[in-house]
Amino acid sequence: MRKVLIPTKLDKFAAAMLEERGYNVVLDTVNSFEDSVKANSDAEALIVRSEKVTPEIIDQLPQLKLIVRAGAGYNTIDIKYARSKDIDVMNTPGANSNGVAEEVVAMMLAGSRFLVPADISTRAGMWEKSKFMGREVTNKTVGILGLGHIGQLVVKRLSGFDVKVLGYDPFLSPVLAEKLGVELACVEKIFAECDYITLHIPENDETRGMINADLFKLMKPGAMLVNCARAGVINEDDLRAAKAEKNIIFCNDVYPKDAEGPKSVADIADIMLPHLGANTKEANLNAARKAAEQTIAYFEQGVTSCVVNKALPDGLDAKFQKLAYVLTALDRAYLGCDNPSRVETSFYGDLTQFAAWITPAIAAGISADFAVTQSPKDAEKFFSEAGVELVNREADNQKGYGNAMTIDLFTGSNPINKAGARGTITENKLMITRLGDFDELYLDPAGNHLFVEYADAPGVIGIIAGILGVNNINILDIRAPQSADGKRALSVIKTSVDVSDEIIGQISEAVKAVKAFSFVY
């Protein structure tokens, strides 16, 4: 009988569901986390909420095979150490999402109407109506950094306020963004144009401290920043300076440590909550149900789709997964379609041996519902269920591409439409070397890019630049390779902001473009 330890205040539904399946469950809400672990060292599964699962904790559980975080964020778990001990770590994505999304909207409204200080003032017998002149959320521009489960629900919950939504998420497809009613934009544009900005990004080496002075200087005076993500993504000192200068409204629900005691943001937060985002009865029940279901599926069926610390094999740089995702997404943008019927790949150099590990990133480039971190088996199942044929061609390493990959997408049957892109990693950056018939592109895909394909003729780039200039869009870089036969040209222009469909239409008509589209990464 497998033993499952739940040393946290999680809805009893999880324990009941596991016990019904024959598991030995210890639900301990009385003892400390550390004492509970010591008393149950024979546990094979550990279900936690925000408890810190350190190497010391893991070492006290020698039979542990699975850790489940009943919630989305798993930064409290040492996933690398768990991996070194061959322990899988799961989260329960989406279980708490609605609770957090509703809290974001509540904070936006409370901060805009001064509900907290006005309540305190009125209870004290004062009548400071003029002091608490607020503003309405309706018809404002809202920026969302991170459009996963929570970010997408924030969009839906705000739909009744008739807001314009700008969103940043490098893994969200343009097709899904359009369905959500979100305009994809770079982080800088969001901070420059939005009245409200809400953060839904993880804290990791890339995001830690990314909300800093460079972004704060772009913000509108009096704009609001809501953080229900992770404390570490904001540089507090930079926010302190920006608040003094621009009177930024700051609503916060996350801290370096979930515990009583002084909080470093107390002097700059207009609203402070004790990490209440997922603190609803519904969210607790959802997280408990998912944690139990995933534990059962893991042990009884070998399902690992929510494992967040899947090991990459030695020798495979995770950037090649990102490259595969970008190449696939770019192919889709070039084709202008939702899903391909066939995918063909070529992996050169040392990448040949890692083909299976790269396919999840290709699946993620096709579907926003698939995560790069999912397993090769999950990717195989995805392609099968989606009816997409996946062919891995034998690569010709005599071409001298080094560690590179080519990903081709095919749609239709008569005629068959094809888009192919090749890329590599150069100086630790993603590099697109070919798109379609256009070789020697050498493009770093990061940022906003406008792609325009047309019959080659003098002056076309000038026409495109002129239209961008009239619309106050700066050009940061231009790549303009010719097709192999010299008859067509491709202008790839990196711009200061994402180019709207309306402007793309003007450009397309002016230069009689074969294709014209924007690509944001």
The token duo for 520 is: 């944001």
CATH of the domain at 474: 3.30.70.260
Whether 67 is covered by a domain: the verdict is yes
Report the pLDDT value the prediction gives residue 311, as an integer from 0 to 100: 67
Q: What is the DSSP letter of 211?
A: B
Query: Do the domain assignments include residue 521?
Result: yes
- Report pLDDT for 283: 92
Please give the distance of CA 314 from its chain centroid, rounded to a whole number. 25
Residue 277 inside a domain? The answer is no
Helix, strand, coil percent values for the chain (each to nearest 5): 35, 25, 40
Q: CA neighbours within 13 Å on the CB side: how many for 10?
A: 32
Backbone angles phi, psi at 308, to 5 degrees: -100, -5
Contact (Cβ atoms closer than 8 angstroms) between residue 365 and residue 445: no
What would the DSSP string read from start to end of 101-158?
A: HHHHHHHHHHHHHTHHHHHHHHHTT---GGGG-----TT-EEEEE--SHHHHHHHHHH
- Residue 312 is predicted with a pLDDT of 73
- Judge contact between 298 and 308, C-beta under 8 A: no
CATH number at residue 346: 3.30.1330.90
Q: Compute the distance between CA of residue 98 and CA of residue 252 in angstroms, rounded to an integer.
A: 17
DSSP result, 37-97 = HHHTTT-SEEEESS--B-HHHHHT-TT--EEEESSS--TTB-HHHHHHTT-EEEE-TTSSH
Say whether both 321 and 401 belong to one domain: yes
Residue 307 lies inside a defined structural domain of this protein = no
What is the enclosing helix (H) or strand (E) of 327? helix 319-335
Kindly state whether residues 57 and 129 are assigned to the same domain.
Answer: no
**Residue 262 sits in the same domain as residue 365:** no
pLDDT computed for residue 374 by the predictor:
76
Measured between alpha carbons, how far is residue 451 from residues 331, 470, 486, 494 in Å?
A: 12, 18, 18, 9
Residues of the chain with confidence (pLDDT) below 70: 311, 338, 373, 414
Backbone angles phi, psi at 288, to 5 degrees: -65, -45
Say if 109 falls within a structural domain. Answer: yes
Q: Are residues 322 and 372 in the same domain?
A: yes
Q: Do 102 and 90 belong to one domain?
A: no
Do 78 and 102 fall within a single domain?
A: no
- Which residues, 6+ apart, have CB-to-CB distance to 357 below 8 Å? 312, 313, 316, 321, 376
- The predicted pLDDT at position 174 comes to 79
220 & 329 share domain? no
Looking at residue 398, its pLDDT comes to 83
Considering the domain boundaries, does residue 50 fall inside one? yes
Distance CA 246, CA 92 (A): 38
CATH of the domain at 29: 3.40.50.720
Number of domains in the chain: 4
CA-based diameter of the chain, in Å?
83
Residue 306 lies in a domain: no
Residues 144, 18, single domain; the answer is no
For residue 406, give its domain range: 312-438
- CA pair distance 39, 140, nearest whole angstrom: 54
Same domain for 79 and 103, yes or no, is: no
Do 199 and 259 fall into the same domain?
Answer: yes
Specify which residues 27 forms β-bridges with.
Answer: 6
Domain boundary among the residues 418, 438, 458 is at 438
Cis peptide preceding 117, ω within 30 of 0: no
Q: Which of 448, 428, 435 is nearest to 515 (CA)?
A: 435
Tell whether 83 is covered by a domain: yes
Last residue of a domain, one of 419, 438, 457: 438
| Angle value at C-alpha 440, between 434 and 446, nearest 5 degrees | 65
Phi, psi of 398 (to 5 degrees): -70, -15
Alpha-carbon distance of 213 to 210, in angstroms, equals 9
In eight-state DSSP terms, residue 234 is B
Residue 503: the pLDDT is 96
Give backbone dihedrals phi and psi of 224, rounded to 5 degrees, phi first.
-110, 140
Same domain as 458, residue 405: no
Select from 438, 465, 491 the last residue of a domain.
438
Asked whether residue 109 falls in the same domain as residue 207, the answer is: yes
